[in-house]
Amino acid sequence: MAGAIMHIGELAERTGLSLRTLRHWDEVGLVHASGRTEGGFRLYTGDDEQRVRLIMRMKPLGFSLEEMGELARALDVSPEAPLDGMAADRADYFRTESHERREKLAGQLAAADEFLRRIEPGTADAGS
């Protein structure tokens, strides 16, 4: 286990995730603790934190835990070209879904921005 070592509470604080989420992700195989104390408490490294942040970047796209695990494993195998090691139809699925889901999120963000403009003093358009 190389690098700084932290307990689950510190990792939770650094990433903004709950202890419950981190424990669940460990149980389902998304992010494993690099070690344990003699008392059985999880210990994480900076690499583990980067793995958590990778999963966090996938989460808004709405992939299932299984899909996020599949993508994370592909990144483990080939960080520079993770989808190249997948079957072509599976890689196409992830590329297409990622782009479509990102566009949907962009539309939702634009709608939220429009709403914020409407509720700011002096910005509401009387004709809208």
Question: Domain residues for 52?
Answer: 6-119
122 pLDDT tier (thresholds 50, 70, 90): confident
Question: What is the average per-residue pLDDT within 114-126?
Answer: 81
Domain count, the chain: 1
Each residue of 58-79: pLDDT tens digit?
Answer: 999 999 999 999 999 898 888 8
Domain-located, residue 126: no
- pTM, 2 dp: 0.80
**Residue 124 is assigned to a structural domain of this protein:** no
Let me know if residue 47 belongs to a domain.
Answer: yes
Spell 59-68 as b/e; 16+ CB within 10 A means b.
eebebeeebb
What average pLDDT does the structure give for the chain?
A: 91
CB 33 within 8 A of CB 42: yes
Query: At 61, which CATH number?
Result: 1.10.1660.10
Alpha helices by DSSP H, listed for 3-87, are 8-15, 19-27, 46-58, 65-77
